[in-house]
Amino acid sequence: MPGLCFQTSRWIDRLWAEHLEVSKPGRDLVAEGIRKQGSRFAGFGVDLLANLYLPRTPARTNEGPEWASRLHEEALQLAEWQRLRLMCQKNGFASGIAAEVALEQLLPSVPDRPEASINGAGVEEAPRGDGRGSGANDSGPEQEALNLRTALRRAAARARQAVETAETSLEGVATSLGFAGSGSAATPSRGSADLRAIREAHQRLRGEVDPMSRTGSEKNKEWIDLVSPRGFVVG
């Protein structure tokens, strides 16, 4: 799934899709967001990962909803978010962990979209306006901005803690998996196969073994199609 607000590459799209393959909590969060904002919400997680993984902020699209653009703009102004970016840059594992935690923390700030209208042909039309809908915060702009910054600071803090915990837990098995040692256990040296092994090892350590790409079920195929419809094969 391409980004919602940012112009993302196939590599970034793939990093997020492969993270979701082994993370049922992550897939559940995306599903919850889709219930609030529709199928395009799947691109919001791609945006979060891109903003954390890439050294520079990706170019914007002209199609992002106001609520998502506002979240990104507020995030980029916060020192806490910049520190999280430095922690995750060029680290596919850390970026995925951090993006998932940030998504969890920011979901309450995502409004419900307006009811979609149905045109004469019976086709659902995208809602117009800012996409804020009935769940939008009715407080003034200053209070709303303050609430967003508070949520973003909390998201950044918890994401940093989650990444540190994940990398520490992997240090004990890094040698047996063939990865670098302390401080870089989550940085693969041989490409995407290593990154997959790291993610799966992390899920086992958490007791959440769920390598969905290997089950072959139709349900899992639907998820792959949803988050990575650009034509490349995940896994």
- pLDDT for res 144: 87
Residue with tokens 């990104």, as numbered in its chain:
72
As beta bridge partners, residue 14 has none
- pLDDT for res 29: 97
Two structure tokens written together for 67: 């609520």
- pLDDT for res 128: 46
- pLDDT for res 140: 81
Contact 132, 67 (CB under 8 A): yes
Polymer length of the chain: 235
Which residue ranges of the chain lie beneath pLDDT 70?
1, 115-139, 172-193, 195-235
CA 145 to mean position of chain CA atoms? 22
Contact 228, 1 (CB under 8 A): yes
pLDDT digit string (tens) for 134-165? 445 556 888 888 999 999 999 999 999 999 98
What single string gives the DSSP state of each residue in 75-143? HHT-HHHHHHHHHHTT-HHHHHHHHHHHHHHHGGGSPPPPPPPB-TTSPBPPPPTTS--TTS--S-HHH
The pTM of the full predicted model, rounded to 2 decimals, is: 0.73
Q: How far is residue 150's CA from residue 145's CA, in Å, rounded to a whole number?
A: 9
Angle (deg, nearest 10), helices 42-53 and 24-37: 120
- pLDDT for res 115: 66
- pLDDT for res 203: 64
Q: Which residues contact 142 (CB under 8 A, 6 or more apart)?
A: none
